[in-house]
Structure 1
Amino acid sequence: MIDVVIPLYNCAPFIETTIRSVQHQTVPVRKIIVVNDGSTDGGEKKVAAMAATDERICVLNGPNRGLSAARNLGIQIAKARYLAFLDADDAWEPEKVASQLAVMDKGDFSFSHTGARLMDESGKPMGNVPFPIQTTVAPTFENIRLGIYPVTGSGSSVMVRRELLERAGGFDEKLRFGEDWDMWARLAQFGPAIRLDQPLTWIRVRQSSMQHSLSAEKRALCQLDCRIHVARHWENEPAFLQAHKKEACYDLWAVMRWRLLRPSSLLELYRHLHLHPYAAGRILARHPGDFLHVLGWGCAETVRSILHSPSEAKRLLRRFLAERRRK
């Protein structure tokens, strides 16, 4: 019924725990496909040792090509009706697969995802991952592609119908940030998703992860670029393009606010969007007035929040100083 794809890159301290969480599922999986993406820490040797006692474990070794390429290689090997992804440092609760299979078989859903808990590098719980949306927001195609409904729990919480994954074309290997969102949006065009509120996925928080290593400005720019990249698939739909522009203004301001003291950097951002290869990017800066409107709106909202709550000014100052120290 289900195959599991685990991309592995330098996660030797965690990979055995990750695989054991799959082996201990209440509903057995067909294959555990571990794609070694050029690891240099010996993690692949631990997987090989586990494969010697579990014929379901399949190890694929190759050069480092990135998360999306590793997942796509695993997808090519998978043959089961359903496919689930699990990052090499994350883990599942024993009933995770059974719970998702139960709901996937009852409806024509393109994919499902679960709630999640966070753990630190030693495996100590750090609390649940909150759903950053109201429960009334449905996981529809429109809401997912606009980012109104973010799929929480990372790729490790998702189970998909394999045939739809193949129709969608696999993960975009050019993306290094936001490849999950891009994939879930393309899948959702074939049918709605469904969320299981139970926290059945464990996400390991590591200080060496890419998101932790980036500055707030760079993370915001990655988020904006990802939104544009997702929207490009449907930028020929005028109504969607306008809805995308409205949502993208929040991401644009998130970049702008870190460049307020660097006018030349703001101008560089304007030119980047004005000359963007995708209409989903150009719509944010067709004219200087478009760009300045977002700048004025963002400044006004920030001032309003500071006047409404003095503690907000302290929070913003602390964050600004923290980011300055990072540089």
Structure 2
Amino acid sequence: MSIIVPAYNVAEYIESCLNSLLAQTHEEIEVVVVDDGSTDETAAVCAAVARRDARVRIIAQPNAGVSAARNRGVQEARGTYVCFVDSDDAAHPDMVARLLAALSTAGAEIACAGRYAPFSASFEPSALGSFAAQTLSGEEACAELLYQRIPNGPVAKMFARSVVGEEPFNNDVRIGEDLLMNLDVMSQAEHVVVVDDALYGYRQREGSAMSGACAADRQRVVDELEQRSTPALTAAFANRIFAEALYVAFEGRTAALTVASILRKYRRTVVTDSKSLVQLRVYALASYLGRGMPAVLHQWKARTR
């Protein structure tokens, strides 16, 4: 069982992340840290942890981005299964054990935690209830991902090496690479099991990769989603493409992405699809009142919170 941790200039956070992994109740793990050209004390902090626990391996490479770091981790991993954990986050002590149990019980190739637990200072894992899981086909899991009922991230999931391959992430995609990776991998799986537990602590902080996103990045995600759309999942893909266009509308970025045309193309499907998120249907209805109305509604909601 391999846990892959891409790391770039996270000296302040990575020790607590690694400690949460080394405290797993399932102890037969390796932690593969890929130091992606850090210029702070990240390497020194990781080395100190590795000296204390031989289960930690450190791979150093020139800075190439999080996707390249994760791909390198997959290539270096020795386990039959792999997990991804971000270097400023934390894992519940039972994350590995519960995901492994879910895989075994369902005979699945992928296990997902259905929820994240946000934190800002320190992660306090909650007590887990009785085991509850839902088994889906690969196609059903892709639909749930597109409808935003399974979290996008590669984190809080466990993948069999047989479906994840050697290079699951597209190095050229700056944002949305996690969604695309999950779609590609889940589409190859016969079964995906979703565990109803918050097994992963997500640190809320400024300076994330998303803050540097531009309209061209969003355009790339839309293009990739449209290329992957299948007849069986047409409505689900329409929902997610509409949502990606909304992000651009909210940010006022229209140079690279013709927001209005994409909203017009997919809004009817969003409005009439009973599986659409209620909030997304409201924005789709607002778009009929004018191209700028979804952004106006979003700004009004932000002011009234």
Per the shorter chain, which TM-score range?
0.7 to 0.9
TM-score (norm 1): 0.71
Would you say 1:59 and 2:42 are equivalent positions? no
- Cα distance in structure 2, aligned partners of 1:315 and 1:230: 24
1:261-276 to structure 2, matched below 5 A, reads: 265=254, 269-270=257-258
TM-score (norm 2): 0.76
Change (3 A) 1:104 1:223: farther
Q: How many residues align?
A: 281
TM-align CA RMSD: 4.0
Cα offsets for 1:91-138 (capped at 9, x unmatched): 111111111110111223231121221111x2267x9xxxxxxx9996
Match of 2:178? 180
In terms of Rg, which structure is larger? 1
1:238-296 deviation per Cα after TM superposition (whole angstroms, max 9, x unaligned): 5555763465234435534665xx9xx57x633x999xxxxxxxxx59xxx85999999
Opposite residue 118 of structure 1, the aligned amino acid is P
Could you say which residue in structure 2 is the equivalent of 1:171?
169
Question: How far apart in 2 are the matches of 1:42 and 1:69?
Answer: 21
- Secondary structure in structure 2 of the residue aligned to 1:155: coil
Q: 1:204 to 1:186 in 2, by over 3 A?
A: same
Query: C-alpha distance in 1, partners of 2:170/2:29?
Result: 26
Q: Distance in 2 between matches of 1:314 and 1:247?
A: 19
Q: 1:109 to 1:228 in 2, by over 3 A?
A: farther
In structure 2, the residue matched to 1:131 is: none
Which consecutive residues of structure 1, in runs of 5 or more, have no partner in the other structure?
Answer: 128-134, 275-283, 307-311, 321-327
Match of 2:287 among 299, 302, 308: 299
User: What is the aligned partner in structure 1 of residue 221 from structure 2?
Assistant: 226
For 1:172 and 1:54, the matched residues in 2 are separated by: 32
Residue 319 to residue 198, structure 1, CA distance change in 2 (3 Å): closer
Aligned counterpart, 1:244? 237
Partner residue of 2:116?
116
Between the aligned partners of 1:45 and 1:293, the Cα distance in structure 2 is 54
Matches within 5 A, 1:1-327: 2-114=1-113, 115-120=115-120, 122-123=121-122, 140-142=138-140, 144=142, 147-152=146-151, 154-166=153-165, 169-189=167-187, 190-211=189-210, 213=211, 218=214, 222=217, 225-232=220-227, 234-235=228-229, 237-238=230-231, 240=233, 244-245=237-238, 247-256=240-249, 265=254, 269-270=257-258, 284=262, 290=265, 298-300=286-288, 316-317=299-300, 319=302
Which one-letter code corresponds to 2:237 in the other structure?
A: H
Does the residue aligned with 2:118 lie in a helix, a strand or coil?
strand
Q: State the percentage of identical aligned residues.
A: 23
Q: In structure 1, what is the Cα distance between the partners aligned to 2:146 and 2:163? A: 21
- Give the secondary-structure state (helix, strand or coil) at the position aligned to 1:198: strand
State the distance in 2 between where 1:296 and 1:24 align: 45
Summarize the Cα distance change of 1:63–1:188 in structure 2 as closer, same or farther, 3 Å threshold. Answer: same
Match of 2:130 in 1: none
| 1:29 Cα deviation from its structure 2 partner | 3.3
Single out whichever of 106-115 and 30-39 deviates more from structure 2.
106-115
What amino acid does structure 1 have at the position aligned with 2:22?
Answer: Q
**Alpha carbons of structure 1 residues 49 and 166: separation in structure 2 relative to 1, 3 Å:** same
Q: How many Å separate the matches in 1 of 2:234 and 2:34?
A: 37
Change (3 A) 1:139 1:313: farther
Query: Could you tell me whether the CA contact under 8 Å between 1:3 and 1:79 is conserved in 2?
Result: yes
CA distance 1:39–1:248, change in 2 (3 Å): same
Query: Secondary structure of 2:237's partner?
Result: helix
Instruction: Specify every segment of 5 or more residues in structure 2 that has no aligned partner in the other structure, as ranges.
Output: 127-132, 270-282
In structure 1, the partner of 2:279 is: none
Q: CA deviation at 1:192?
A: 3.1
Query: Which of 1 and 2 has higher RCO (CA within 8 Å, sep 6+)?
Result: 2
Alpha-carbon separation, structure 2, partners of 1:6 and 1:19: 9
Q: CA separation in 2, counterparts of 1:201 and 1:296? A: 32
- The one-letter amino acid of 1:141's match is E
User: What one-letter code is carried by the residue in structure 2 that aligns with 1:226?
Assistant: V
State whether residues 119 and 202 of structure 1, in contact with CA within 8 Å, keep that contact through their aligned partners in structure 2: yes
Deviation at 1:230, TM superposition (A): 3.4
Would the aligned equivalents of 1:138 and 1:149 in 2 still touch at CA under 8 Å? no
C-alpha distance 180-151 of structure 1, shift in aligned 2 (>3 A): farther
Between the aligned partners of 2:297 and 2:231, the Cα distance in structure 1 is: 41
State whether residues 5 and 71 of structure 1, in contact with CA within 8 Å, keep that contact through their aligned partners in structure 2. yes
